[in-house]
Amino acid sequence: MDYLAGLNKEQRAAVEQTEGPVMIIAGAGSGKTRVITFRVAHLIRKGVDSFNILVLTFTNKAAKEMRERINSLVGTEAKNIWMGTFHSVFAKILRVEADKIGYPNNFTIYDTDDSKSVIRAILKEMNLDDKLYNPNFVYNRISAAKNNLIGWQEYQNNPQIQADDFSSGRGHLGKVYETYAARCYRAGAMDFDDLLFKTNELLKLHPDVLNKYQHKFKYLMVDEYQDTNFSQYLIVKKLAAVSENICVVGDDAQSIYAFRGANIQNILNFEKDYPDLKVFKLEQNYRSTQNIVNVANSIIANNKEQLKKNVFSEKETGDKIKVVRAFSDNEEGKIVAEDIMQFRSTKGLKWNDFAILYRTNAQSRSMEEALRKLNIPYKIYGGLSFYQRKEIKDLIAYFRLTFNPNDEEALKRVINYPKRGIGDTTVDRIIVAADKHQLTPFEVILNAGQYVEKAPASLHNFATMIQSFQVITKNLPAYDAALHIAQHSGLLKDLYEDKSVEGLNRYENIQELLNGIKEFSEREDIEEKGLDVFMQDVALLTNDDNDKNKDADTVSLMTIHSSKGLEFPYVYVVGLEENLFPSQMSLNSRSDLEEERRLFYVAVTRAEHKLSISYATSRFKFGTLISCEPSRFLDEIDPKYLELDFTAKPAPSVGSSSYADERTAWSRGNNSGGDSFSKPKPQPVKTTQVLAKAHVPSPDFKPSDTSNLQVGMEVEHERFGFGKVISLEGNKPDIKATIFFKEIGQKQLLLKFAKLHIKN
């Protein structure tokens, strides 16, 4: 049986090209994951040792899905493949090699909150204004430097960087970076960026280590290559330098993470690194209808920097894409919620067939309110994940401290939780003593009588407890060790005694964490099942991996960034307004604007069957109602694929939240006075000219008798506003009037349907 028979011609060619550098340009919905998994399976079937294959992804979810598919094709050999996220794979290597760059093998991995906590402490110690040196800004500045492989020494010695910092009044950033790096090193901790930064350092300073992994990984595959940053690019290039059997898969049209350091040039210029490159383009979209694909193509065609491809669909033509105008963000939410309710009831759909996508999290408010009013269940993705809840972080901090007592952030988190009489003053004295004597805080605690004035006896008890946990974890399985720590730390008892609803939820969350550890310890696909291994898995979870209830029957609400990689039968993209989408921040350069356009492309290509796009003509911003104009991106969509819905009525009075219920369906280009801008006369009328301003009819507006309409008369149209009759043609009852409207230009309307009000 030909196991490749199910692939199309281009997919199969990409799978069978196993040797040398390969780039697979995979359009949206083109079966990218299928090609990667079959390619890996094909390598193994050809006799390549599965231990010599490295597959890098951006989420653990993607890696797990690929491994399961490969397992179905080649069996248990799939377990031997080095497959995972960049961070998880190189954390695994660093666990073995970290001592070569001065780190313990049991180093802690700091998440974003841990890193910002360290930065806040440093800013406080240096007496720096936390408004000027906002911890989020400082963290992002350091992160960007690491992603570009700029260490603190180079940061301080770079004239351009220093000039930028001093001109912005932040001349101490270099010192903050230096102190932050030293503090992490002392704690035996690496942040997420360090996992790549330190891997680059390891491979640069130790050619023997580089040589070892170059010969180990004889075949490399990188998924979502358009999302790689400079640090990731360099690691991959170094590892592939010997065999050059490297295959990168991605879509430049879906490069949307520049704010995280992703560099689209990595995929655009890949051929410069490998002149012998073989390029395969996966252009058939198996996900979306033809109309949706056509809309996506017309959008992305406006980008100058791109790898040209002709994405097509052989699915049904599908409905035209509805463009909805609302008079406010609240009405926009009401329209979307009503639409979802109607489709679900008339077509027998589930709630999870629907997704609402927006540019910023703040837009969820109006959507949530509208869904709640109709009792529609929904879930917001990208919110607080399970592992970011306080009680979960508290117990995990105990685990971290057990395996790495030098972990200062974990120590500060639990030293007095549950309360054991160790106040903030004592903790400050411990930190000061540690800095003064070049010790870790835990080393100070072990000798508290020597270093800490008025040291409470509970410090000794705390140190003894942590040391006992270290002994226990060496002799007990992961679940038993975790349960022991939860019980003997006092955390479980403290939560159990809180009988409030919140307390009960926190206690149940701890039980859920323990259940997760139990499941982990019973997995058959991993050999090492200690609590320390579980801890590493948790530390490396990506945002897409945290949620355990994604199959719940709820409408999905998320930012477009969060939606990448997902698909839904019915998709609503809301807030298509200038300065919102594209965002105001993106209007400073072509590259930023093109990234926003790629983001719109990603949003559109999440839809399988039906796509709706909406915008509001007014929206509250910082408590003020502002006027909005439709996004320039709407202008870039070929109008023949659109159906315009401008039937929403304005609020009957200021301050009222109700709207007229009458919504007369209409489509443009018909013979009933509908919008005919697809064939403008005498000059093209841009989509946004039609969308731009929602005309509010005059108080005395009502359709007039037009049987005596004459050229030169001034009229008002319910949607198009005020205009003057230019010409009349035809015979009753099919007389057509050509009217020039002040806001949108010239229109030809059939009088019997036009509903014009003749001005006196």
The reply to whether 304 sits in an annotated binding site is no
Q: Is 729 a catalytic residue?
A: no
Q: Which amino acid is at 112?
A: T
The reply to whether 29 sits in an annotated binding site is yes
Residue 567 near residue 606 (C-beta atoms within 8 A): yes
The reply to whether 658 sits in an annotated binding site is no
Number of helical (H) and strand (E) elements in the chain, helices listed first? 32, 24
CA 514, chain centre distance (Å): 28
Q: Is 223 a catalytic residue?
A: yes
Core vs surface per residue 415-445: b (16+ CB within 10 A) or e: bbbeebebeeebbebbbebbeeeebbbbbbb
CA dihedral sign of residues 293, 298, 303, 305: positive
Catalytic residue among 114, 224, 595, 636: 224
Instruction: Say which residues have a Cβ less than 8 Å from residue 3's Cβ, sequence separation at least 6.
Output: 38, 41, 45, 73
Catalytic residue among 18, 33, 214, 748: 33
For the chain, give the number of residues.
760
Strands 618-621 and 284-285: unpaired
Catalytic residue among 10, 11, 12, 32: 32
Note if the bond before 680 is cis, omega within 30 degrees: no
Catalytic residue among 12, 606, 610, 668: 606
Count the neighbouring beta carbons within 10 Å of the beta carbon of residue 368.
17
The reply to whether 31 sits in an annotated binding site is yes
What are the structure tokens assigned to 342, written together?
């109607």
Q: Which residues pair with 312 in a beta bridge?
A: 284
CA distance 137 to 677: 47
The reply to whether 32 sits in an annotated binding site is yes
Instruction: Say which residues have a Cβ less than 8 Å from residue 404's Cβ, sequence separation at least 6.
Output: 104, 106, 107, 108, 187, 188, 189, 410
Q: Which residues pair with 396 in a beta bridge?
A: none
Q: Is 33 a catalytic residue?
A: yes
Q: Is 428 a catalytic residue?
A: no
Q: Which amino acid is at 444?
A: V
**3-state SS assignment for residue 542:** coil
Note if the bond before 456 is cis, omega within 30 degrees: no
Block residue for tokens 């709640």: 372
CA distance 462 to 243: 53
Q: Where are the alpha helices (DSSP H) in 306-440?
A: 329-347, 364-373, 390-403, 408-414, 424-437
Instruction: Say which residues have a Cβ less than 8 Å from residue 758's Cβ, sequence separation at least 6.
Output: 704, 706, 709, 713, 714, 715
What are the structure tokens assigned to 95, written together?
């666990």
Strands 618-621 and 624-627: antiparallel
What are the structure tokens assigned to 86, written together?
């960049």
Q: Is 537 a catalytic residue?
A: no
Catalytic residue among 111, 114, 193, 223: 223
The reply to whether 623 sits in an annotated binding site is no
Catalytic residue among 11, 85, 226, 254: 254
The reply to whether 168 sits in an annotated binding site is no
Q: Is 454 a catalytic residue?
A: no
What is the Cα gyration radius of the chain? 30
Helix (H) or strand (E) holding 143: helix 135-147
Annotation: binding site for ATP: 26-33
Residue numbering of the annotated binding site: 26-33
Q: Which residues are catalytic?
A: 32-33, 223-224, 254, 606
